[in-house]
Structure 1
């Protein structure tokens, strides 16, 4: 009986963990009207250029060069980041810095206009 109780408890914990991980993962949604990173959203007209970073450059932009006013969205399991300039004159946030598996693609789309 204890083996079955342990198996059921293990399945419940594994299922709960999987659901929590899926719910906590943030997505990047880019449309003609807006950019959304996780729960944060901004109109596209306030989005400037973007830069991709990989490897040692990630440590540099996430560490010594990081502006404390920036919006940050990091995932430990995703190494590369993209820095997206915010050009809203009333927004004190200079840029968004977010983890992504495809930073070059986001840079390509944002910098294309």
Structure 2
């Protein structure tokens, strides 16, 4: 889901909100906490704990929902930011390739801004020779739009890449 953006320099912006199933874990966690305490504390204390745990879980889910944004000058994913001039090839990933880059095909030096509840995403090559990060792996609900926003950066075109890279 994209967030509304008034800044014309922003080409793409989305918040990686949890899926409905993940949101449902917060009340479940609160309920289980309250039930666990119900046998040793008064009912009001168990209920208070259940409400507090639910509220804390909901706040934690909201606060940890990263923002992915492409502006005229940079790509921001979570707390990290990189200039667009430091980026190279970009590819939209299907669920299978995204899973592989999260696991068996992962490079430990890569920057990951991924959420398990989002199955698709984008991989963006980092071409800055001073940056040891080979690529950014970003989850997205709209990976085609995210890739298009990164691709619209000025610079030299890239041609003939294997492994699904495109620009």
TM-score range, shorter chain: 0.7 to 0.9
Cα drift, residue 32 of structure 1: 0.6
Unaligned runs of 5+ in 2: 1-41, 154-167
1:69 aligns with 2:103: no
Superposition misfits of 4+ residues, deviation over 6 angstroms: none
Task: Please provide the CA RMSD for this pair.
Answer: 1.8
Residue of structure 2 in register with 1:23 after alignment: 63
The one-character-per-residue Cα deviations of 1:65-105 (angstroms, maximum 9, x if unpaired) are: 32222111221211112101111121111110121211111
Residue of structure 2 in register with 1:97 after alignment: 137
Unaligned runs of 5+ in 1: none
Report matched runs for 1:69-88 at 5 Å: 69-88=109-128
- TM-score normalised per structure 2: 0.61
Higher mean Cα deviation, 70-79 or 12-21? Answer: 70-79
Residue of structure 2 in register with 1:13 after alignment: 53
Rg (Cα) greater in structure: 2
- Secondary structure of the equivalent of 1:35? strand
- The structure with the greater share of residues assigned to strand is 1
Of the candidates 99, 104, 108, which is equivalent to residue 59 of structure 1? 99
* Kept after mapping to 2: 8 A contact 1:49/1:110: no
